[in-house]
A and B are shown apart, each in its own frame.
Chain A
């Protein structure tokens, strides 16, 4: 097993004046499950393809273990890849698909057989070994693709959106399967996804990317609770964090945040920090997660300084929870996540309260989180 290190890695395509991946620095620990996440075109797949050796590295160094592998062919990097388009070999049965990579590397027949059968047992596809890919369901094909990677017993697994072709139910199931499998195999895994649920549930650590740059690299908890900038705050979490643009003012010894339909008091601990950083009197962006807007009477009663009034434009009841799309707060809809049994409905005017201890304040120009900045 081995860690992976990227030092000042750049990827620039010929004819393009902008780098697809810029100054990428990352140290991935041995046995770590690292997730690269970001919107389409952020450079996450390009980064993975560089690690795989499918793309040349324009600048910088890539280490697998202690070895610089910039110029090493994919087959000699001791990695195994699983892609969204898993492209099983259609003319080979499942056994042959899994065995092919080993056969090419001249493994002994009995060793190939041992590995294939062991991987098939792990993935519960032993009964499919004689079948051709055409006779398999999407989930089964995905498991074969995983099996093809597992039999290699690589130092590092690379997965690029491996679950994207599956339906929602199967995706949830496979997500758990892959997590369990990687823990069992104790192998380093680098996993690319656009799906933040996958990222949050699978990764030991998540790297959020945008425009070829790393925005933040942290554990799921840290990313969710301490996003360093507006982009990360908005990208992680579903529904996304609400953003309200308004002004911070000092009034009667406390700091207030004022925006359209909002006039709330900032808790003193946060207020002191805002004062010391000179934000009083300035426009800022306040971020509030949907679950930090409460409808419970007890909470509202206990939070007289953070009450907001709004009308419900749309309500989506998922049973155990309900999303309220609120009008009258800031420029866009504000979404609140409340109890599914709250009995609230569309068109209703509601009184809600914000948990001000959980809010984030972002600098309007730099978009950095004021509370997380050094």
Chain B
């Protein structure tokens, strides 16, 4: 008797070379057991509620055993099902230890994980362009691809004899773990992942001038005049939307020809046509000036951020750049937007929409060695501890954000103009720097930025 203690609902994926038996099986299950099943197809999805699991398992075993002509053992079905359920929320690329142990348990002893090259895979007789879930026969046993990293393949090998059904189930599990939907990845997702991987590799290697190669399927969908957004979400994996969900929401939000390109865990590049800028104009005949275009790009970034965080929560950051020709500059753009988010988070804690054209000073300052930064702050400012005071920091931040306009700053801070003047006078008295004069304002702004990063370290 199988012992299952209040497991959550799960989905079972089955694949069989003959359509008919599984169609009958689904019919049996949906009719006799009251579970939800998809319409019969070559791939069958059954949603079984927790309290139904034990009886469904037994029933499933009996039927499946007959339909597969005794080629599938009960324990393997059970393990595969449980494994499916546990892997389902995980979309990370690295195989977690517990998952590995489960797979080991599932396949028994003799499972090894290795990293090989694509060339070696193909040389050993594997298919071209291997994907997670792909498999090849070895002299003794079988090899599955668990993950692809550029020209490297993470594989697992087992010397155990697996039935065709078991092999298919494992393939589906591995595809799922890599973020695939029940029907496997869509062609678009697969192509987007491939492009994302290529962009990621080149951005990381520092070769930012690389053009998207002709062989990249999505190249034909890239055109001059696409707005690049870099979306970074930090959240527990189980709460992450799937590629399909996110893609659908983003296309619905922006336009149907928007591309969602996964770069690495929790990071996506979004390329959207720049006609969005024209659509944002109040009157069609209006032409956007440079500063208006930047303001509009910022608004689009804020809208995107609000939409994504409003749907899925978690800490989100968005960087947005000027429209580009992604064929020529996707890699460079990703590099710049990554740097923008990194600097934005470092220098402006709490900010979630980051704009490359607003962090020039931060970029410059981040290159100064820490010892020099500390020395500069100490030498230039008599009392750096003034920046320990939250009120002083928020006052200065608001003052600089409002272009040193006293009235606007007071309004932003919800304080009386005289209160603001009193605070600014106090800073002048204690530091000798009057932020209402241009030169001192520049100096205090630099000191404040340097102090923030120095203190945070």
Q: Do A and B associate with each other? A: yes
- With A75-B310, A90-B300, A134-B280: A195-B414 Cβ-Cβ less than 8 Å: yes
| Interface class of chain A by DSSP | loop
Tell me if A132 counts as interface (CB < 8 A to partner B).
Answer: yes
State which size class the interface on A falls in: 20 to 34
Which of A81-89, A247-255, A332-340 is found at the contact surface with chain B? A81-89
1/0 contact trace for B256-300 toward A, CB 8 Å? 000000000000000000001101111100000000000010011
Cα A88 to Cα B299 with chains together (Å): 8
Q: Which residues of B contact A367 (CB under 8 A)?
A: none
B391 → chain A closest CB, angstroms: 8
Q: Are B414 and A90 in contact (CB under 8 A)?
A: no
Q: A131–B282 Cα gap in the complex (Å)?
A: 7
Q: Find the A residue at minimum CB distance from B412.
A: A164
Q: Which of B313, B314, B315: most chain A CB closer than 10 A?
A: B313
Q: Do A88 and B303 touch across chains, with their CB atoms under 8 A apart?
A: yes
Q: Say whether B305 contacts A87, CB under 8 Å.
A: yes
**B310 proximity list for chain A (CB < 8 A):** 54, 74-75, 81
> Which residues of chain B are near A135, meaning CB under 8 Å?
282-283
Residue of A54, A104, A131, A134 touching B309 (CB-CB under 8 A): A54
Chain A residues contacting B239 (CB-CB under 8 Å) are: 71, 73
**Which positions in B face A, CB cutoff 8 Å?**
235-236, 239, 249, 252-254, 276-277, 279-283, 296, 299-300, 302-303, 305-307, 309-315, 390, 394, 414
Interface contacts beyond A52-B313, A83-B306: sample of 8 additional A-B pairs, CB < 8 Å, sorted by A:
A55-B313, A56-B236, A75-B310, A87-B299, A104-B252, A104-B311, A133-B280, A134-B281
Cα A133 to Cα B309 in complex, Å, equals 21
Please tell me if A53 contacts chain B, counting CB pairs below 8 Å.
yes
A-B contact pairs, 30 of them (CB 8 A): A41-B390, A52-B313, A53-B313, A54-B313, A55-B315, A56-B236, A73-B239, A73-B311, A74-B310, A74-B311, A75-B310, A81-B310, A87-B302, A88-B299, A89-B253, A89-B307, A90-B299, A90-B300, A91-B277, A91-B279, A91-B300, A92-B279, A100-B252, A103-B252, A132-B280, A133-B280, A134-B281, A134-B282, A164-B414, A195-B414
Q: Given A103-B252, A104-B249, do A90 and B313 touch, yes or no (CB 8 Å)?
A: no
Pairwise interchain contact A73-B313, C-beta atoms closer than 8 A: yes
Count contacts between A and B, CB distance < 8 Å: 75
Query: How far, in whole Å, are A147 and B281 apart by their CA atoms in the complex?
Result: 21
Residues in chain B near residue A55, CB distance under 8 A: 313, 315
Nearest residue, chain B, Cβ from A71: B239
With known contacts A132-B281, A194-B414, A74–B303 Cβ distance under 8 A: no
**A52, B414: Cα distance in complex, Å:** 25
A40 on the B face (CB < 8 A): yes
Return the chain A residue nearest B283 by Cβ: A135
- In the complex, how many angstroms separate the beta carbon of A93 from the nearest chain B beta carbon? 9
- Which of chain A's residues 31-81 have a Cβ closer than 8 Å to chain B? 40-41, 52-56, 71, 73-75, 81
A interface list, Cβ under 8 A from B: 40-41, 52-56, 71, 73-75, 81, 83, 85, 87-92, 100, 103-104, 131-135, 164, 194-195
A54 neighbours in B (Cβ, 8 Å): 309-310, 313-314
Identify the closest chain A residue to B254 (Cβ).
A91
- Chain B positions within 8 Å of A75 at CB level: 310-312
Residues of B within 8 Å of A85, CB to CB, are 302
Question: How far apart are B252's CB and chain A's nearest CB, in angstroms?
Answer: 6
Interchain CB contact under 8 A, A89 and B303: yes
- Cα distance A164–B281 in the bound complex, in angstroms: 25
- A73 proximity list for chain B (CB < 8 A): 239, 311-313
* Residues of chain B lying within 8 A (CB to CB) of residue A53: 313
- Is A132 within 8 A of B249, CB to CB? no
Question: Which residues of chain A have C-beta atoms less than 8 A from B315's C-beta?
Answer: 55
A56, B312: Cα distance in complex, Å: 12
Which residue on B lies nearest to A83, using beta carbons? B306
B279 contacts across to A, CB distance below 8 A: 91-92, 132
Find out whether the CB atom of A132 lies under 8 angstroms from the CB atom of B312.
no
Residues of A within 8 A of B302 (CB): 85, 87
Q: Which residue of B lies closest to A80 (CB)?
A: B310
Q: Which of B254, B281, B303, B313 contacts A87 (CB 8 A)?
A: B303
From B296, which residue of chain A is reached at the shortest CB distance? A90
* Distance, CA A73 to CA B303, complexed state (A): 19
The distance in angstroms between the C-alpha atoms of A195 and B414, with both chains bound, is 9
Specify which of A52, A55, A75, A135 lies most central, judged by the most chain B CB atoms within 10 Å of its CB.
Answer: A75
Determine the distance from Cα of A133 to Cα of B299 in the docked complex, in whole angstroms.
Answer: 10
> Distance (Å) between the CB of B317 and the closest chain A CB?
13
Bound complex: CA A131 to CA B451 (Å): 45
B311 to chain A, nearest CB (A): 4
B309 to A74, Cβ gap below 8 A?
yes
Contact A90 B303 (CB under 8 A): yes
Contacts of A90 in B (CB 8 A): 280, 296, 299-300, 303
